[in-house]
Amino acid sequence: MTDHECVELRRLDVRQPLPGEMFRLMLCRNLVFTYFDETLQLETWRRLSAKLSVGGALLVGKHERLPPGATLAPWHPALGIFRAPGGVHT
């Protein structure tokens, strides 16, 4: 298997049910945590975090903040990168 066969890019509507598999990386920039109201942010956060694999990364806009109670560890918060618990932090 070549490197490009290991990566699959998808464009998903975070307001719709997400696919069944887990994700190692989610890019969700300048949308959910900027324009959604607090209730919808928290609901979307719960759905996204349920699909993020252990040690997986969530990339949001660098000026965005996760909702209160979010359980991701800051990996590089200045760039808006967070990591799911259980991963190896480098």
| Number of folded domains that form the chain | 1
- The reply to whether 33 falls in a domain is yes
pLDDT in tens, 41-63: 999 998 998 999 999 999 999 88
Contacts of 40-47 spanning 24+ positions with Cβ under 8 A: 41/67, 42/67, 42/69, 44/14, 44/15, 45/70, 47/14, 47/18
Tell whether the model's pLDDT for residue 7 goes beyond 60.
Answer: yes
- The reply to whether 61 falls in a domain is yes
Do 84 and 56 form a contact (C-beta atoms < 8 A)? yes
- The reply to whether 57 falls in a domain is yes
- The reply to whether 18 falls in a domain is no
Average pLDDT over residues 57-86: 89
- The reply to whether 21 falls in a domain is no
Task: Give the predicted TM-score (pTM) of the model.
Answer: 0.81
pLDDT in tens, 12-36: 998 888 999 999 999 998 889 999 9
- The reply to whether 87 falls in a domain is yes
- The reply to whether 37 falls in a domain is yes
Domain that holds residue 37: 28-90
- The reply to whether 11 falls in a domain is no
Tell whether the model's pLDDT for residue 89 goes beyond 50.
Answer: no
